[in-house]
């Protein structure tokens, strides 16, 4: 396992990566679903699947409850370290950029919980941002995630080394991230309710200045490096 790979620069849609992992009627658990954007994409692509999408941010959870038109999604409140699901009741667990948000002292417990709820042979798909790239350079001005991302990777290494989970594949790619303008970045990223950011006027101005060179008439686009670890619960 490696935390990053500077040679892996292909731009890919993440839906391509998990498409072959899902049986048609999969029982899916998503941990840290955020706004439910990926949850809804999976629900549309796999209408026969059942999805439990958990989020710890109650403000965002209340917004998610207002989403309609997805009868195969059930939104709930809960963290990866204490999953409200029975033993061996889930075929696949998704974590999209959420493992590093688990409290440091609870990351190993979270992976134990993932193992517990997965059926034998079940898959854990864990997607994490690599601590590199132009977008990351802007983000770290007010939210440096270097330590927590490294801790999340170390927890994955421990889970594999212990035999709790088996490494099936490790994939590096670039994801496309778009913002129509700085106001959208400020609302979605700086104003995210799951992490309270309080920027001084001077720091906000610095972030805006770093963002500005990436703006074009069609908005700002970043290619952000990502790592996906595909793990399996031993059968």
Domains of the chain: 14-131+144-174+226-232 (3.40.50.150)
Contacts of 31 (CB under 8 A, 6+ apart): 54, 79, 80, 83, 93, 94, 95, 98, 110, 114
On the CB side of 45, how many CA atoms lie within 13 Å of its CA? 16
Residue appearing with tokens 């490696």: 2
Inform me whether the pLDDT recorded for 37 exceeds 70. Answer: yes
SS3 label, residue 182: helix
- Is 91 in contact with 23 (CB distance < 8 Å)? yes
Nearest to 216 by CA among 189, 182, 188: 182
Give residue 192's pLDDT. 74
Give residue 195's pLDDT. 65
Q: What is the DSSP letter of 166?
A: E
For the stretch 149-196, pLDDT in tens is 999 999 999 999 999 999 999 999 999 999 999 999 998 899 876 667
For the stretch 44-53, pLDDT in tens is 999 999 999 9
| Burial status of residue 216 (CB atoms within 10 A of its CB: 0-12, 13-18, 19 or more) | exposed
CB atoms within 10 A of CB 178: 10
């Amino acid at each position: 396992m490696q935390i990053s790979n500077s040679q892996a620069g292909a731009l890919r849609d993440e839906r391509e990566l998990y498409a072959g992992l899902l049986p048609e009627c999969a029982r899916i658990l998503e941990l840290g679903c955020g706004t439910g954007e990926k949850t809804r994409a999976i629900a549309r692509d796999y209408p026969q699947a059942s999805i439990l999408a958990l989020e710890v941010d109650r403000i965002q959870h209340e917004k998610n409850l207002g989403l309609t038109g997805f009868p195969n999604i059930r939104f709930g409140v809960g963290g990866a370290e204490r999953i409200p699901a029975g033993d061996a009741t889930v075929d696949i667990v998704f974590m999209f950029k959420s493992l590093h948000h688990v409290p440091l002292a609870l990351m190993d417990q979270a992976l134990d919980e993932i193992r517990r709820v997965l059926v034998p042979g079940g898959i854990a798909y864990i997607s994490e941002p690599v601590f590199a790239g132009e977008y990351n350079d802007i983000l770290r001005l007010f939210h440096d995630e270097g330590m927590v991302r490294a801790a999340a990777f170390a927890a994955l290494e421990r889970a594999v080394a212990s035999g709790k989970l088996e490494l099936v594949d490790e994939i590096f790619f670039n994801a496309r991230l778009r913002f129509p303008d700085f106001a959208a970045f400020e609302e979605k990223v700086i104003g995210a309710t799951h992490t309270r950011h309080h920027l001084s006027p001077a720091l906000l101005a610095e972030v805006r200045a770093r963002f500005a060179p990436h703006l074009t008439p069609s908005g700002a686009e970043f290619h952000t490096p990502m790592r996906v670890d595909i793990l399996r619960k031993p059968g």
